[in-house]
Amino acid sequence: MALSLPSGLVPTEVAFLCEMEMITIVPRQRLESIPMLSGKTPALRPPRRADLPLWLALLLKKQRRANIVPPPWLLPASLQEIVHLETNYDPEAFSPPPPPPMRSDGRGVARPYATTTRSGNEDKELILAPPFLPSCTQDAPSGYLPYHWLEIAETLLAHAADDIPNAPEVRALLRDLQEVRAAKMRASTRHLEGGGGVLNIRGVGAMELAESRGFVLGVVDGVRKLGASAEAGRREELERGDDEDESDDDMGL
Amino acid sequence: MDIDDILREVDPASQSIPAETRDLQALTRAWVSERSSPELLQYVHILPYPPIAPTTPVLTRRFPSVYSWPADGLFERINDRIKQQIERVEEMTGDMDPKTNFALIVIQTELERFKYLVRSYLRARIAKVFEKSIAATADLRARLSETEQAYATRHQALLHNHYLSSFLSAFPPTLQNLNDTAGNISMIETPDLDTAVFIRLLKETLVEGHGTDMDDDMDGKSGDIVILRWSDAKSLVDSGHAEVV
Span B119-132, average pLDDT: 84
Span B33-46, average pLDDT: 77
Q: Is there a single domain that holds both residue B99 and residue B160? A: yes
Residue of A18, A123, A128, A198 to mutate for B, most B C-beta atoms under 10 A: A198
Q: Is there a single domain that holds both residue B92 and residue B115? A: yes
CA–CA dist A145, A99 (Å, integer): 10
Q: Is there a single domain that holds both residue B75 and residue B165? A: yes
CA–CA dist B193, B215 (Å, integer): 17
Query: By percentage, how much of chain A surpasses pLDDT 90?
Result: 34
Predicted TM-score (pTM) of the model is 0.82
Res A57: pLDDT: 94
Q: Is there a single domain that holds both residue B174 and residue B232? A: no
Span A227-237, average pLDDT: 85
Model pLDDT for residues B170-218, shown as the tens digit of each residue: 988 888 887 777 777 777 777 788 888 899 998 888 888 888 777 878 8
Contact A199 B114 (CB under 8 A): no
Q: Nearest 5 degrees, angle CA B69-CA A110-CA B61?
A: 30
Model pLDDT for residues A139-174, shown as the tens digit of each residue: 888 889 999 999 999 999 999 999 998 999 999 999
Check whether domain A11-98+135-226 has CATH 3.30.230.10, yes or no? no
Where is mean pLDDT largest: A39-48, A121-130, B138-147? A39-48
Q: Which residue has the higher pLDDT, A126 or A76?
A: A76
Q: In chain A, what are the domain boundaries? A: 11-98+135-226
Asked whether residue B169 is assigned to any structural domain, the reply reads yes
Number of domains forming the structure of chain B: 2
Q: How far is CA B228 from the centre of its chain?
A: 20
pLDDT at B48 over 50: no
> To 10 degrees, the CA torsion angle through A175, A178, A180, A186?
-140
Q: CB of B225 within 8 Å of any CB in chain A? A: yes
Asked whether residue B220 is assigned to any structural domain, the reply reads yes
**Mean confidence (pLDDT) of chain B:** 77
Q: Is there a single domain that holds both residue B118 and residue B60? A: yes
Pairing outcome for strands A35-36 and A39-40: antiparallel
Model pLDDT for residues A2-48, shown as the tens digit of each residue: 777 888 889 999 999 999 999 999 999 988 888 888 888 889 988 89
Q: Which of A174, A144, A140 is nearest to A157 (CA)?
A: A174
CA–CA dist B227, B198 (Å, integer): 5
The 3-class SS string of B31-47 reads HHHHHHCCCCCCCCCCC
CA–CA dist B51, A1 (Å, integer): 39
Sheet holding A66-69, edge to edge: A50-53, A22-27, A66-69
Model pLDDT for residues B68-124, shown as the tens digit of each residue: 333 457 788 888 889 989 988 888 887 777 777 888 889 999 999 999 999 999 888
CA–CA dist B122, A2 (Å, integer): 9
Q: CB of A217 within 8 Å of any CB in chain B? A: yes
Q: Is there a single domain that holds both residue B46 and residue B116? A: yes
Contact B227 A107 (CB under 8 A): no
Contact B103 A3 (CB under 8 A): no
CATH of the domain at B224: 3.40.5.60
Asked whether residue B211 is assigned to any structural domain, the reply reads yes
Model pLDDT for residues A97-120, shown as the tens digit of each residue: 888 887 776 777 777 775 544 443
Q: Is there a single domain that holds both residue B145 and residue B55? A: yes
Res A243: pLDDT: 66
| Strands of chain B, DSSP E | 196-201, 205-209, 216-220, 225-229, 242-244
- How far away is chain A from the Cα of B53, in angstroms, using its nearest Cα? 12
Query: By percentage, how much of chain A surpasses pLDDT 70?
Result: 88
In which band, very low, low, confident or very high, does the pLDDT at A175 lie, cut at 50, 70 and 90?
very high
Asked if A164 contacts A23 with a C-beta cutoff of 8 angstroms, the reply is no
Q: CB of A190 within 8 Å of any CB in chain B? A: no
Q: Which residue has the higher pLDDT, A62 or B132?
A: A62
Centre a 10 Å sphere on the Cβ of residue B209 and count the other Cβ atoms it contains: 21
Residue of A nearest to B243 (CA): A129
Span B121-141, average pLDDT: 75
pLDDT at B60 over 50: no
Span B50-70, average pLDDT: 38
Lowest mean pLDDT among A180-189, A208-217, B85-94, B188-197: B188-197
Out of B145, B171, B190, pick the residue that ends a domain: B190
**Which residues of chain B from 2 to 61 reach within 8 Å of chain A, CB to CB?**
11-13, 15-18, 20-22, 24-26, 28-29, 32, 35-38, 49, 52, 54, 58, 61
Q: Is there a single domain that holds both residue B104 and residue B167? A: yes
Asked whether residue B3 is assigned to any structural domain, the reply reads no
Asked if A74 contacts A24 with a C-beta cutoff of 8 angstroms, the reply is no
Lowest mean pLDDT among A28-37, A189-198, A204-213, B55-64: B55-64
Q: Is there a single domain that holds both residue B117 and residue B134? A: yes
A157 residue type, one letter: L
CA–CA dist B72, B49 (Å, integer): 8
Q: CB of A20 within 8 Å of any CB in chain B? A: yes
Q: Which domain does B221 fall in, by range?
A: 192-245
CA–CA dist A243, B105 (Å, integer): 69
CA–CA dist A81, A144 (Å, integer): 9
Q: CB of B127 within 8 Å of any CB in chain A? A: yes
The residues, any chain, with a CB within 8 Å of residue B212's CB and separated by 6 or more, are: A195, A223, A224, A226, A227, A228, A230, A231
Asked whether residue B4 is assigned to any structural domain, the reply reads no
Res B66: pLDDT: 39
Q: Is there a single domain that holds both residue B196 and residue B182? A: no
Span A58-66, average pLDDT: 92
pLDDT at B64 over 50: no
Q: Is there a single domain that holds both residue B164 and residue B218? A: no
pLDDT at A56 over 90: yes
In which band, very low, low, confident or very high, does the pLDDT at A226 lie, cut at 50, 70 and 90?
confident
Asked whether residue B159 is assigned to any structural domain, the reply reads yes
Q: Is there a single domain that holds both residue B155 and residue B213? A: no
In which band, very low, low, confident or very high, does the pLDDT at A186 lie, cut at 50, 70 and 90?
confident
Write the DSSP assignment of B105-126 as a string of letters: HHHHHHHHHHHHHHHHHHHHHH
Res A77: pLDDT: 92
Out of B190, B209, B230, pick the residue that ends a domain: B190
Res A76: pLDDT: 92
CA–CA distance from A135 to each of A52, B149, B177 (Å)? 12, 40, 55
Q: CB of A39 within 8 Å of any CB in chain B? A: yes
Write the DSSP assignment of A141-194 as a string of letters: PTT---TTHHHHHHHHHHH-GGGSTTHHHHHHHHHHHHHHHHHHHHHHHHHHHT
Q: CB of A106 within 8 Å of any CB in chain B? A: yes
* Long-range contacts of A122-127, Cβ-Cβ distance < 8 Å, separation of 24 or more: A122/B58, A123/B49, A123/B52, A123/B58, A123/B61, A123/B63, A124/B69, A124/B72, A125/B240, A126/B17, A126/B22, A126/B25, A126/B26, A126/B69, A127/B202, A127/B203, A127/B240
